[in-house]
Chain A
Amino acid sequence: MYFDDFVQLWQMDGHGPYVWAAYAIVLLVLLWLVRAPLVRSRRALERVRARLGAERRQSGGG
């Protein structure tokens, strides 16, 4: 490691807040980017299952 300890790595000679804030924002954006389409897919399949269930109940009851 270039830095002597983790405190120095955290502070980065005064640039720590900028560097770590940038990495934190990127991490959050990337996690959201991965999660959003997974949630959309899951909801689409849930809608299909709900519709099929409703159709089955309707045909069974009618």
Chain B
Amino acid sequence: MSRGVIRRGAIRIYCRPPRPAAAPFPTGDGCTRRVWSFIHKLGSPRWCYRITTPWLPWLAVLSGALLVVGAVWGLAFAPPDFRQGNSYRIIFIHVPAAFVSLAGYYLMASAGAVSLIWKIKVSDMVLKSCAGIGAAMTFVALVTGSIWGKPTWGTWWVWDARITSMLVLFFLYLGVLALHQAFEDRDVAARACAVLALVGTVNIPIIYKSVDWWYSLHQPATIKFTGAPSMHPDMVKPLFVMIAGFYCLYALLLLLNLRSEILEREEKARWVEELATTGKVPA
């Protein structure tokens, strides 16, 4: 070989071996990986839509059965209250609605935090869905409480701490809905709503503790996490059935609203076009 001629193939470029691609979620044992993989996939609207389809009939049947059994049990079979008579039977819808309206706010605020930190579209859709259902549930709690108040307290409405803080909760839910409509840019709307939802969280402990902190016409909590309920078991059992029914219904409503929100926002996506023509979500 003559000098200066570089034989083809003689030059070898040494470079670092490629790094293994970073896993999109922490690796660990099988269970942890599956959980992280599930959370990771929740960010995909299409996956969310597809995975929730088989849950709907189960939730519908379960919530329908629990609500019918609980309502019939509470209306016709539970004994009357020795002081309030039969008007107390409103408790079987009033307390479960109030429960889910408060728990739903935590869910909405959590979705807001996720959407603020990781900017996941689906979490903003969850936030908006929670706001609509939460407003309706708070409305139910306020109206049934008002109807219960007339025969019990002699008045439809009183500006005391519990009722006023529930009214504030109702306006917070409506505020999130209105704020969502107010912005053209969806990202700005998502950020503003998330901040409002997070700031409004301060109202929830106030609602819980209002009957202890201030003098109120509203009776203290019937069911407590610490300690036995202050009701007879014959009355508590249908109440628990109704609470379970309202939670199942809340889950069903959340999924239905989330799915309609997904369809509205993804109208241009290929998979929605396929869904509209074939009735199936492509895998």
Are the chains A and B members of one assembly?
yes
B222 within 8 A of A: no
Known contacts A1-B76, A18-B147, A37-B259; is A30 also within 8 Å of B87 by CB? no
- Could you tell me if B260 and A40 are in contact, using CB atoms closer than 8 angstroms? yes
Q: How far is the CB of A41 from chain B (nearest CB, A)?
A: 4
Docked Cα-Cα span, A21 to B150, in Å, equals 12
B220 within 8 A of A: no
Q: How far is the CB of B155 from chain A (nearest CB, A)?
A: 13
* Interface segment, one of B35-43, B103-111, B137-145, B173-181: B137-145
> Residues of A contacting B77 with CB < 8 Å?
1-2
CB-nearest residue of chain A to B78: A2
- Could you tell me if A40 and B264 are in contact, using CB atoms closer than 8 angstroms? yes
Contact with A along B230-259 (1 / 0, CB 8 A): 000000000000000000010011001101
- Could you tell me if B256 and A45 are in contact, using CB atoms closer than 8 angstroms? no
Known contacts A18-B151, A34-B256, A37-B257; is A9 also within 8 Å of B75 by CB? yes
> Residues of B contacting A7 with CB < 8 Å?
none
Q: How far is the CB of B133 from chain A (nearest CB, A)?
A: 7
- Could you tell me if B276 and A52 are in contact, using CB atoms closer than 8 angstroms? yes
- Could you tell me if A2 and B79 are in contact, using CB atoms closer than 8 angstroms? yes
- Could you tell me if A45 and B89 are in contact, using CB atoms closer than 8 angstroms? no
Interface of chain B residues 69 through 88 with chain A (CB within 8 A): 71, 75-80, 85-87
Docked Cα-Cα span, A3 to B272, in Å, equals 53
> Residues of B contacting A21 with CB < 8 Å?
147
> Residues of B contacting A26 with CB < 8 Å?
93, 97, 140, 144
Contact with A along B86-122 (1 / 0, CB 8 A): 1101100110010000000000000000000000000
Known contacts A2-B76, A12-B86, A18-B87; is A23 also within 8 Å of B71 by CB? yes
Contact with B along A18-47 (1 / 0, CB 8 A): 110111011001101110111011001111
A57 within 8 A of B: no
> Residues of B contacting A12 with CB < 8 Å?
85-87, 89
Known contacts A25-B143, A45-B275; is A19 also within 8 Å of B87 by CB? yes
Known contacts A23-B71, A33-B133, A37-B256; is A45 also within 8 Å of B263 by CB? yes
- Could you tell me if A49 and B276 are in contact, using CB atoms closer than 8 angstroms? yes
- Could you tell me if B71 and A48 are in contact, using CB atoms closer than 8 angstroms? no
- Could you tell me if B140 and A15 are in contact, using CB atoms closer than 8 angstroms? no
Q: How far is the CB of A11 from chain B (nearest CB, A)?
A: 9
The one of B80, B148, B249, B253 in contact with A22, judged by C-beta atoms closer than 8 angstroms, is B148
- Could you tell me if B277 and A52 are in contact, using CB atoms closer than 8 angstroms? yes
CB-nearest residue of chain A to B96: A26
- Could you tell me if B249 and A19 are in contact, using CB atoms closer than 8 angstroms? no
Residues of A near any B CB (own CB < 8 A): 1-3, 9, 12-16, 18-19, 21-23, 25-26, 29-30, 32-34, 36-38, 40-41, 44-49, 51-52
| Pairs across A and B, CB under 8 Å, 18 listed | A1-B76, A2-B77, A13-B85, A15-B85, A16-B86, A18-B90, A18-B148, A18-B151, A29-B139, A37-B256, A37-B259, A41-B256, A41-B259, A45-B263, A45-B272, A46-B276, A47-B267, A49-B277
Known pairs A18-B151, A33-B253, A38-B260; list 10 more (Cβ under 8 Å).
A2-B79, A13-B85, A15-B89, A16-B86, A18-B150, A19-B87, A40-B260, A45-B263, A48-B273, A52-B277
